[in-house]
A and B are shown apart, each in its own frame.
Chain A
Amino acid sequence: MGNTSSMLTQYDIEEVQEHCKHAFSQQEIVSLYQRFCQLDRSGGGFISADEFLSVPEFAVNPLSQRLLRMLDGLNFKEFVAFLSAFSPHVSLQQKIEFIFKLYDSDSNGKVAFHDMLDVLRDLTGQFISEQQREQVLTEVLEEAGYTKDSMLVLSDFVKIIFQTSCWNFEEPFLSIAFLLRKGVFALG
């Protein structure tokens, strides 16, 4: 399967665990490594954008290009750290931070109107006109107490996403726990 050495030593596993702040168990890290080797077909120790896009389920996702900017050229340690936002053992604050980082494309700690517009464009494509998108965004921003020129920071995001009364704490948020739990790396 993988041309790279598919053997992880105990030391490697612990190092990766440290790096992702214990978001995954050792068994999960081994499974993720198998998956990493499977995707890394060229055996270069990192997964290229092309190799990610060869997974059809990922390629049809509207946010795939945005995620690829964060994923391209990651080695295994960084790959696990990236996925740690989706672990059930990570705090909600950290998950929102991941979403924030995705919006904040220039990494200046602030999300502006055009950042939010960019993501909305990725999600809606050609099915809403640009003008209507701006209008919708402005409307909901104003309704939430912000303006078109507001720069949102992480704490704003946390407040916005958690504040609604229909927030359900039982439902998993940003979690791939069900996949890891099933141990889907075996066939079937």
Chain B
Amino acid sequence: MSLSLSFSFSLAPIRRREKKQQPTAMDTAGKLNSSSSELDLDRPNIEDYLPSGSSINEPHGKLRLRDLLDISPTLTEAAGAIVDDSFTRCFKSNPPEPWNWNIYLFPLWCFGVLVRYLILFPARVLVLTLGWIIFLSSFIPVHLLLKGHDTLRKKLERVLVELICSFFVASWTGVVKYHGPRPSIRPKQVYVANHTSMIDFIILEQMTAFAVIMQKHPGWVGLLQSTILESMGCIWFNRTEVKDREIVAKKLRDHVQGADNNPLLIFPEGTCVNNHYTVMFKKGAFELGCTVCPIAIKYNKIFVDAFWNSRKQSFTMHLLQLMTSWAVVCDVWYLEPQLLRPGETPIEFAERVRDIISVRAGLKKVPWDGYLKYSRPSPKHRERKQQSFAESVLQRLEEK
């Protein structure tokens, strides 16, 4: 199935253009053309990607009773979706095969558990606490006392945030390999990366103090967000607010114009995915009229599965899980900056960048919007299927 998906990706831009030129047979009072919400415009034709039952759409001669009664292609699609679907696969964390199943390996594994929980974990907690003490004792004075000297204060705050992130990474024994040129502070540029967990942000922040756009979280994370990250120029959004999008879009545009704002980091997937797939990128980051620098992150699952399933675990539990594993090993690739090509829509641009990131990190692309985790797909997709079937029925009725 993945083979057919990748094949249709290369066809997708061509097919989309063809679809636009075909006049719709039923232009009933413009009802077809209205999309219910702005969210719909984010996604290109999903039909181009889905392996659809083709016999509905391939008319052969005159319409007969059999063609109307035989609903098997649609049913097969539905049953296929029930048995396995590409969306759920993106958020599934497959536990690794248990290797501690025999008498020699089991004691070894037990020993490993003891080392991890009783030696490594306390050491890591110590390192992290030390880091926080150093950080807070430097950050609070700098933040409060240097109110007048903004450039100096910003510079020190950047260094300190990078420091505390390094402490975080050390507390999971993070082994991060960075490839490619380090990000620089320049206006009119934005960084995009694939998203697996909130630690993506910490790993990237360790190298460069980014300003990130995130969902406001509750609890201690929210506290950190409103105090420390605020000083980095981070932008908050609220998934549930519809008007929020315009406000955030404006904030983004303002931020990228500023010459000494920290470089902006966006996770266009909008949700954490399990590091084997990428879901559709939201076009917001790609219509700011500036250079987009892709970053690809790939975690090595042998050491720990870094996917944060926010429905199953709180962030605290996730961090604890990381701190009691052997290590967090990952690769970060800073890829070549991309510009919007002439004649390319932001959605096509987003897909192109997603392609670049997925290829680099070895991830499979999936044609679903990450927000479908929280909401139902728009009726537009079902309507498109209905429309194509209706058109083929009417067309075949004409044939004698």
Contact = CB atoms under 8 A, between A and B. Distances in A.
Interface of A: 1, 32, 35, 38-39, 52-53, 55-64, 67, 71, 83, 86, 95, 98-99, 102-103, 116, 119-120, 123-128, 132, 136-137, 139-141, 143-144, 146, 157, 160-161, 163-164, 166, 173-176, 178-180, 182, 184-188
A63 B74 contact: yes
A120 B276 CA distance: 39
A8 B183 CA distance: 52
Interface residues of B, number: 57
21 contacts: A1-B95, A55-B82, A55-B88, A59-B377, A60-B382, A61-B385, A62-B386, A64-B78, A71-B82, A83-B82, A99-B71, A102-B71, A116-B68, A124-B389, A124-B390, A126-B31, A126-B386, A132-B394, A143-B64, A173-B72, A179-B80
B65 A141 contact: yes
A57 B87 contact: yes
Given A56-B368, A67-B75, A99-B75, 11 more contacts: A1-B92, A60-B46, A83-B79, A99-B71, A120-B68, A123-B71, A127-B26, A128-B390, A144-B66, A163-B66, A174-B76
Given A62-B74, A123-B74, A57 B66 contact: no
A160 B166 CA distance: 70
A166 B80 CA distance: 25
A186 B94 contact: yes
A123 B79 CA distance: 16
B71 A140 contact: no
Contacts of B372: 56
- 9 tightest A-B CB contacts, nearest first: A125-B386, A57-B81, A127-B390, A58-B81, A124-B390, A144-B65, A60-B381, A140-B65, A57-B85
Given A86-B79, A143-B64, A55 B71 contact: no
Nearest to B62: A143
B92 A38 contact: yes
A118 to B, nearest CB: 12
B22 to A, nearest CB: 14
Given A52-B82, A57-B86, A186-B94, A126 B28 contact: yes
Contacts of B84: 35, 179, 184-185
Contacts of B88: 38-39, 55
B65 A61 contact: no
Contacts, number: 172
Which of B84, B94, B385, B393 has its CB near the most chain A CB atoms (within 10 A)? B84
B39 to A, nearest CB: 13
Which of A71, A139, A161 has its CB near the most chain B CB atoms (within 10 A)? A161
A125 B383 contact: yes
Mostly, the B contact residues are helix
A164 B391 contact: no
A107 B44 CA distance: 40
A120 to B, nearest CB: 6
B79 A176 contact: yes
Contacts of B376: 53, 56, 59
A63 B81 CA distance: 12
Given A102-B71, A144-B65, A176-B76, A127 B391 contact: yes
A67 B376 CA distance: 17
A83 B83 contact: yes
A179 B63 CA distance: 31
A176 B85 CA distance: 12
Contacts of A137: 68
A55 B63 contact: no
A95 to B, nearest CB: 8
B85 A140 contact: no
B8 interface: no
Contact of B72 (A99, A128, A160, A188): A99
A179 B26 CA distance: 36
B60 interface: yes
Nearest to A103: B69
Contact of B85 (A56, A99, A126): A56
A160 B65 contact: yes
Nearest to A144: B65
A188 B333 CA distance: 22
B391 to A, nearest CB: 7
